Protein backbone atom coordinates (compact mmCIF):
# COMPACT_ATOMS: atom_id res chain seq x y z
CA UNK A 1 0.00 0.00 0.00
CA UNK A 2 1.35 3.45 -0.85
CA UNK A 3 2.51 5.43 2.15
CA UNK A 4 1.08 8.62 0.64
CA UNK A 5 -2.50 7.42 1.28
CA UNK A 6 -2.02 7.36 5.04
CA UNK A 7 0.15 10.49 5.03
CA UNK A 8 -2.48 12.50 3.16
CA UNK A 9 -5.22 11.07 5.39
CA UNK A 10 -3.37 12.36 8.46
CA UNK A 11 -3.21 15.77 6.77
CA UNK A 12 -6.97 15.76 6.20
CA UNK A 13 -7.60 14.84 9.85
CA UNK A 14 -5.28 17.63 11.00
CA UNK A 15 -6.97 20.22 8.79
CA UNK A 16 -10.39 19.09 10.00
CA UNK A 17 -9.23 19.66 13.57
CA UNK A 18 -7.87 23.06 12.53
CA UNK A 19 -11.22 24.01 10.98
CA UNK A 20 -13.01 22.86 14.16
CA UNK A 21 -10.80 25.16 16.22
CA UNK A 22 -11.31 28.12 13.88
CA UNK A 23 -15.09 27.52 13.83
CA UNK A 24 -15.18 27.63 17.63
CA UNK A 25 -13.29 30.94 17.58
CA UNK A 26 -15.72 32.44 15.08
CA UNK A 27 -18.73 31.12 17.01
CA UNK A 28 -17.50 32.98 20.10
CA UNK A 29 -16.66 36.28 18.42
CA UNK A 30 -19.27 38.05 20.59
CA UNK A 31 -18.69 36.03 23.78
CA UNK A 32 -17.59 38.20 26.68
CA UNK A 33 -13.87 37.80 27.48
CA UNK A 34 -13.49 34.81 25.14
CA UNK A 35 -9.86 33.98 24.31
CA UNK A 36 -9.14 32.55 20.87
CA UNK A 37 -7.36 29.24 20.37
CA UNK A 38 -4.78 28.08 17.86
CA UNK A 39 -4.23 24.48 16.84
CA UNK A 40 -0.62 23.28 16.95
CA UNK A 41 0.72 20.37 14.91
CA UNK A 42 3.83 18.26 14.68
CA UNK A 43 5.20 15.86 12.10
CA UNK A 44 5.07 12.11 12.66
CA UNK A 45 7.84 9.51 12.59
CA UNK A 46 10.21 9.26 9.66
CA UNK A 47 11.52 6.25 7.77
CA UNK A 48 15.26 6.64 7.23
CA UNK A 49 16.27 4.93 4.02
CA UNK A 50 19.87 6.11 4.09
CA UNK A 51 21.86 7.98 6.73
CA UNK A 52 24.29 10.77 6.07
CA UNK A 53 27.88 9.64 6.51
CA UNK A 54 31.47 10.62 5.83
CA UNK A 55 34.03 8.02 4.77
CA UNK A 56 37.55 8.15 3.37
CA UNK A 57 36.60 7.67 -0.27
CA UNK A 58 32.85 8.07 -0.11
CA UNK A 59 30.38 10.42 1.50
CA UNK A 60 26.68 11.20 1.77
CA UNK A 61 26.15 14.74 3.13
CA UNK A 62 22.37 14.41 3.66
CA UNK A 63 19.88 11.83 4.92
CA UNK A 64 17.28 10.11 2.80
CA UNK A 65 14.04 10.13 4.80
CA UNK A 66 10.30 10.10 4.21
CA UNK A 67 7.68 11.19 6.75
CA UNK A 68 4.37 9.72 7.82
CA UNK A 69 2.30 12.88 7.99
CA UNK A 70 1.08 15.20 10.72
CA UNK A 71 -0.89 15.06 13.97
CA UNK A 72 -2.54 17.70 16.17
CA UNK A 73 -0.67 17.94 19.47
CA UNK A 74 -2.04 20.96 21.33
CA UNK A 75 -4.35 23.95 21.30
CA UNK A 76 -2.77 27.11 22.67
CA UNK A 77 -5.01 29.88 23.97
CA UNK A 78 -4.22 33.53 23.33
CA UNK A 79 -4.85 35.47 26.55
CA UNK A 80 -4.19 38.89 25.05
CA UNK A 81 -6.73 41.47 26.17
CA UNK A 82 -9.85 42.18 24.16
CA UNK A 83 -11.38 45.60 23.64
CA UNK A 84 -13.36 47.19 26.48
CA UNK A 85 -17.06 47.74 25.94
CA UNK A 86 -18.82 50.31 28.11
CA UNK A 87 -22.00 49.18 29.88
CA UNK A 88 -22.37 51.79 32.67
CA UNK A 89 -23.35 48.98 35.06
CA UNK A 90 -21.26 49.25 38.22
CA UNK A 91 -21.26 45.46 38.67
CA UNK A 92 -19.83 44.89 35.19
CA UNK A 93 -16.07 44.63 35.62
CA UNK A 94 -13.15 44.31 33.23
CA UNK A 95 -9.68 43.31 34.36
CA UNK A 96 -6.80 45.44 33.12
CA UNK A 97 -3.85 43.08 33.24
CA UNK A 98 -3.33 39.33 33.37
CA UNK A 99 -5.57 38.47 36.32
CA UNK A 100 -8.68 36.31 36.63
CA UNK A 101 -11.79 36.52 38.78
CA UNK A 102 -12.55 33.48 40.91
CA UNK A 103 -15.95 31.74 40.91
CA UNK A 104 -17.30 28.88 43.02
CA UNK A 105 -19.01 26.42 40.72
CA UNK A 106 -22.06 24.28 41.38
CA UNK A 107 -19.76 21.40 42.36
CA UNK A 108 -18.09 23.51 45.06
CA UNK A 109 -14.79 23.82 43.20
CA UNK A 110 -13.12 27.12 42.39
CA UNK A 111 -12.95 28.24 38.76
CA UNK A 112 -11.45 31.29 37.12
CA UNK A 113 -12.82 33.67 34.53
CA UNK A 114 -12.19 36.96 32.74
CA UNK A 115 -15.94 37.50 32.32
CA UNK A 116 -16.88 40.20 34.81
CA UNK A 117 -20.60 40.50 34.01
CA UNK A 118 -21.70 40.10 37.62
CA UNK A 119 -25.14 40.39 39.15
CA UNK A 120 -26.75 40.69 42.57
CA UNK A 121 -28.33 37.37 43.55
CA UNK A 122 -30.90 37.23 46.36
CA UNK A 123 -30.07 34.29 48.66
CA UNK A 124 -31.05 33.09 52.11
CA UNK A 125 -27.93 34.75 53.50
CA UNK A 126 -28.52 38.07 51.79
CA UNK A 127 -27.56 39.85 48.57
CA UNK A 128 -24.67 37.98 47.02
CA UNK A 129 -22.42 39.00 44.14
CA UNK A 130 -22.69 36.28 41.48
CA UNK A 131 -22.16 35.63 37.79
CA UNK A 132 -24.96 35.16 35.25
CA UNK A 133 -25.45 31.52 36.30
CA UNK A 134 -25.80 32.45 39.96
CA UNK A 135 -22.38 31.09 40.96
CA UNK A 136 -20.85 33.20 43.75
CA UNK A 137 -17.96 35.53 43.04
CA UNK A 138 -15.18 35.03 45.60
CA UNK A 139 -13.02 37.56 47.40
CA UNK A 140 -9.25 37.32 47.80
CA UNK A 141 -9.71 34.91 50.73
CA UNK A 142 -11.97 32.57 48.76
CA UNK A 143 -15.15 33.72 50.54
CA UNK A 144 -18.49 34.66 49.03
CA UNK A 145 -19.22 38.39 48.77
CA UNK A 146 -22.40 39.67 50.43
CA UNK A 147 -23.72 43.23 50.23
CA UNK A 148 -25.60 43.89 53.47
CA UNK A 149 -26.74 47.41 52.61
CA UNK A 150 -28.37 49.04 49.60
CA UNK A 151 -26.46 47.78 46.55
CA UNK A 152 -26.68 51.21 44.91
CA UNK A 153 -24.33 52.61 47.56
CA UNK A 154 -21.52 50.11 46.92
CA UNK A 155 -18.56 50.80 44.67
CA UNK A 156 -15.66 48.72 43.39
CA UNK A 157 -12.29 50.45 43.45
CA UNK A 158 -9.59 49.78 40.80
CA UNK A 159 -7.72 47.69 43.37
CA UNK A 160 -10.79 45.47 43.79
CA UNK A 161 -11.64 46.93 47.20
CA UNK A 162 -15.38 47.09 47.91
CA UNK A 163 -16.44 50.35 49.53
CA UNK A 164 -19.78 51.57 50.85
CA UNK A 165 -20.93 55.18 50.60
CA UNK A 166 -22.82 56.32 53.68
CA UNK A 167 -26.02 57.95 52.35
CA UNK A 168 -26.13 60.40 55.28
CA UNK A 169 -22.54 61.63 55.31
CA UNK A 170 -21.53 60.81 51.74
CA UNK A 171 -18.29 59.29 53.02
CA UNK A 172 -17.00 56.10 51.36
CA UNK A 173 -16.19 53.46 53.95
CA UNK A 174 -14.11 50.31 53.41
CA UNK A 175 -15.94 47.02 53.88
CA UNK A 176 -12.78 44.96 54.32
CA UNK A 177 -13.49 42.84 51.27
CA UNK A 178 -11.65 42.78 47.95
CA UNK A 179 -12.80 41.23 44.69
CA UNK A 180 -10.53 38.21 44.27
CA UNK A 181 -8.07 38.59 41.38
CA UNK A 182 -5.56 35.83 40.76
CA UNK A 183 -2.71 35.17 38.36
CA UNK A 184 -0.99 32.02 37.15
CA UNK A 185 2.61 31.32 36.25
CA UNK A 186 1.42 29.33 33.22
CA UNK A 187 -2.07 30.51 32.18
CA UNK A 188 -1.70 28.64 28.87
CA UNK A 189 -2.33 25.40 30.81
CA UNK A 190 -5.71 26.53 32.14
CA UNK A 191 -8.42 24.06 31.15
CA UNK A 192 -11.56 25.56 29.62
CA UNK A 193 -14.70 23.99 31.11
CA UNK A 194 -17.35 26.12 29.37
CA UNK A 195 -19.40 28.96 30.75
CA UNK A 196 -16.45 31.34 30.27
CA UNK A 197 -14.64 29.53 33.09
CA UNK A 198 -11.28 27.83 33.43
CA UNK A 199 -9.96 25.20 35.82
CA UNK A 200 -6.45 25.28 37.24
CA UNK A 201 -4.22 22.21 37.44
CA UNK A 202 -0.69 21.21 38.35
CA UNK A 203 0.67 22.66 35.09
CA UNK A 204 -0.71 26.15 35.79
CA UNK A 205 0.91 26.41 39.20
CA UNK A 206 -0.86 27.68 42.30
CA UNK A 207 -3.00 30.81 41.85
CA UNK A 208 -1.19 33.94 42.99
CA UNK A 209 -3.09 36.72 44.72
CA UNK A 210 -3.10 39.99 42.82
CA UNK A 211 -1.66 41.96 45.75
CA UNK A 212 1.42 39.72 45.74
CA UNK A 213 2.12 40.34 42.06
CA UNK A 214 4.89 42.62 40.83
CA UNK A 215 2.48 44.02 38.22
CA UNK A 216 -0.96 43.86 39.86
CA UNK A 217 -4.04 43.91 37.68
CA UNK A 218 -6.74 46.53 38.17
CA UNK A 219 -10.51 46.53 37.79
CA UNK A 220 -12.47 48.95 35.64
CA UNK A 221 -16.14 49.03 36.53
CA UNK A 222 -18.86 49.81 34.01
CA UNK A 223 -16.96 47.93 31.29
CA UNK A 224 -16.76 44.39 29.95
CA UNK A 225 -13.90 42.80 28.05
CA UNK A 226 -14.86 41.72 24.53
CA UNK A 227 -13.65 38.61 22.73
CA UNK A 228 -10.15 38.91 21.27
CA UNK A 229 -11.13 37.00 18.11
CA UNK A 230 -10.27 38.88 14.90
CA UNK A 231 -12.80 37.80 12.27
CA UNK A 232 -10.64 38.66 9.24
CA UNK A 233 -7.68 36.75 10.67
CA UNK A 234 -9.82 33.69 11.35
CA UNK A 235 -11.34 33.81 7.87
CA UNK A 236 -7.86 33.80 6.30
CA UNK A 237 -6.92 30.80 8.46
CA UNK A 238 -10.16 29.09 7.45
CA UNK A 239 -9.41 29.53 3.74
CA UNK A 240 -5.85 28.25 4.23
CA UNK A 241 -7.10 25.19 6.11
CA UNK A 242 -9.71 24.49 3.45
CA UNK A 243 -7.11 24.64 0.68
CA UNK A 244 -4.76 22.36 2.61
CA UNK A 245 -7.62 19.90 3.12
CA UNK A 246 -8.37 19.93 -0.61
CA UNK A 247 -4.70 19.35 -1.48
CA UNK A 248 -4.48 16.37 0.85
CA UNK A 249 -7.67 15.02 -0.70
CA UNK A 250 -6.07 15.46 -4.12
CA UNK A 251 -2.99 13.55 -2.92
CA UNK A 252 -5.21 10.60 -1.95
CA UNK A 253 -6.92 10.70 -5.35
CA UNK A 254 -3.56 10.82 -7.12
CA UNK A 255 -2.23 7.88 -5.06
CA UNK A 256 -5.34 5.90 -5.88
CA UNK A 257 -4.89 6.60 -9.59
CA UNK A 258 -1.23 5.53 -9.38
CA UNK A 259 -2.25 2.27 -7.68
CA UNK A 260 -4.88 1.66 -10.33
CA UNK A 261 -2.27 2.21 -13.07
CA UNK A 262 0.13 -0.20 -11.36
CA UNK A 263 -2.61 -2.83 -11.09
CA UNK A 264 -3.48 -2.45 -14.76
CA UNK A 265 0.13 -3.15 -15.77
CA UNK A 266 -0.20 -6.74 -14.58
CA UNK A 267 -3.20 -7.40 -16.81
| Segment 227-258, tens digit of pLDDT | 999 999 999 999 999 999 999 999 999 988 88
In the predicted model, what is the mean pLDDT of the chain? 91
Boundaries of every domain in the chain: 3-79+230-265, 84-225
| Segment 56-111, tens digit of pLDDT | 777 878 888 888 899 999 999 999 999 999 998 989 999 999 999 999 999 999 99
CA distances from 182 to 83, 144, 247 (A): 21, 15, 45
Calculate mean pLDDT across residues 195-221: 91
* pTM of the predicted structure, to 2 decimals: 0.87
Q: What is the CA radius of gyration of the chain?
A: 27
| Segment 153-173, tens digit of pLDDT | 899 999 999 999 888 788 888
pLDDT of residue 167: 82
Amino acid sequence: MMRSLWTAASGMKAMQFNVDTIANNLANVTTTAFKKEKAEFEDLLYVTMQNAYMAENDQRPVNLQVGHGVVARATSRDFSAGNLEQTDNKFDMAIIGEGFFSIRGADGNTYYTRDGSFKISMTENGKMLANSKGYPVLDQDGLEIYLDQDAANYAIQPTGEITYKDPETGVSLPTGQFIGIFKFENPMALEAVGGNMYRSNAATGEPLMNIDSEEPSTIRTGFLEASNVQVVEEMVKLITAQRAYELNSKAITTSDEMLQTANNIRR
